[in-house]
């Protein structure tokens, strides 16, 4: 017998869980997080066209300060050489370098990241300051061949695949709110990770779905993203 998982059975709740329920979401446990597994059938096909997933409950953390690059290096973090680029660690944890001395880390699609766990509790060196990115920023994943066209309706940056390459970062304004957008393709599927003000999550979700409707985009669950990664 399958166990029904409720988005409110843990303390960490996405502000979107009511909207997910309205869309008929089935939730699942991903690591320590509960997120939407799926809303309907064949979401992989949807993900290839245009999908929007809420990953806000998945782990992430940030660090900044003059000591951050050296300290992170000593902790085994593989860092991009230049700001506004990202790298993927061995376990697919995303490390985004937002400035010379600032990093944003986001877990892989299993919802767990040993690296984030380790760094969260590690003794920090002088001038290294932890940032509560899991709390301050929401995390959405916009994917599919129409993702760049969708972003063009809400943002002034050219996100087309041939101009905005994989693991490139834009720190910009999206639908009039600040956002960090990282291109993180999943398998061969175009994907943009969008980190933005956590308290504006419902607004951003609605704005993106509105922009997506022209391209028949819709919400998808985390499982579809994971399936894209393995295809």
Any long-range contacts for 193-197 (C-beta under 8 Å, 24+ apart)?
Answer: 193/55, 193/94, 193/106, 193/139, 193/140, 193/141, 194/138, 194/139, 194/140, 194/141, 194/142, 195/60, 195/104, 195/106, 195/133, 195/137, 195/138, 195/139, 196/137, 196/138, 196/140, 197/136, 197/137, 197/138
Figure out which of the listed residues 3, 11, 123, 230 binds other proteins, where binding follows CB under 8 A: 11
Tokens of 87: 């790298």
Binding mask 66-105 for other proteins (x = CB under 8 A): ----------------------------------------
Q: Rounded to the nearest whole angstrom, what is the least distance from the CB of residue 87 to other proteins in the complex? A: 23
Dist. CA 97–CA 79, nearest whole Å: 7
Figure out which of the listed residues 5, 207, 215, 218 binds other proteins, where binding follows CB under 8 A: 207
Q: Which is nearer to other proteins, 87 or 136 (CB)?
A: 136
Figure out which of the listed residues 65, 80, 83, 187 binds other proteins, where binding follows CB under 8 A: 65
H helices of the chain, where? 17-22, 43-49, 68-74, 114-121, 133-136, 147-151, 201-212, 222-230
Q: Which is nearer to other proteins, 64 or 226 (CB)?
A: 64
Sort residue 46 into left (φ over 0), alpha (ψ -120 to 50) or beta. Answer: alpha
Residue 134 interacts with other proteins (CB under 8 A): yes or no: yes
* Selected range binding other proteins among 4-12, 24-32, 38-46, 75-83, rule: CB under 8 A: 4-12
* Selected range binding other proteins among 44-52, 89-97, 103-111, 125-133, rule: CB under 8 A: 125-133
Residue 127 interacts with other proteins (CB under 8 A): yes or no: yes
Residue 122 interacts with other proteins (CB under 8 A): yes or no: no
Tokens of 160: 């087309």
Q: Which residues bind other proteins (CB under 8 A)?
A: 8, 11-15, 18, 56-57, 64-65, 127, 129, 131-132, 134-137, 149, 152-158, 160, 163, 175-177, 197-200, 202-203, 207
């Amino acid at each position: 017998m399958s166990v029904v998982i409720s988005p409110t059975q843990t303390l960490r709740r996405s502000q979107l869980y009511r909207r997910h329920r309205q869309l008929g979401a089935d939730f699942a446990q991903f690591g320590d997080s509960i997120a939407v597994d799926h809303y309907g059938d064949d979401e992989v096909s949807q993900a290839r066209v245009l999908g929007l997933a809420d990953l806000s409950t998945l782990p992430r953390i940030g660090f900044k300060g003059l000591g951050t690059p050296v300290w992170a290096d000593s902790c085994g973090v593989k860092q991009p050489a230049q700001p506004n680029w990202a790298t993927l660690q061995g376990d697919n944890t995303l490390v985004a370098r937002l400035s010379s001395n600032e990093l944003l880390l986001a877990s892989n699609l299993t919802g767990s990241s040993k690296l984030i766990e380790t760094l969260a509790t590690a003794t920090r060196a002088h001038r290294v300051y932890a940032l509560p990115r899991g709390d301050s920023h929401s995390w959405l994943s916009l994917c599919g061949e129409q993702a760049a066209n969708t972003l063009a309706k809400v943002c002034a940056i050219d996100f087309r695949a041939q101009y905005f390459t994989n693991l490139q970062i834009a720190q910009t304004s999206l639908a009039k709110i600040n956002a960090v957008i990282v291109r993180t393709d999943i398998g061969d599927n175009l994907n943009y990770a969008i980190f933005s003000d956590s308290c504006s999550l419902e607004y951003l979700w609605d704005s993106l779905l509105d922009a997506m409707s022209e391209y028949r985009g819709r919400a998808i669950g985390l499982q579809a993203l994971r399936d894209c990664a393995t295809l």
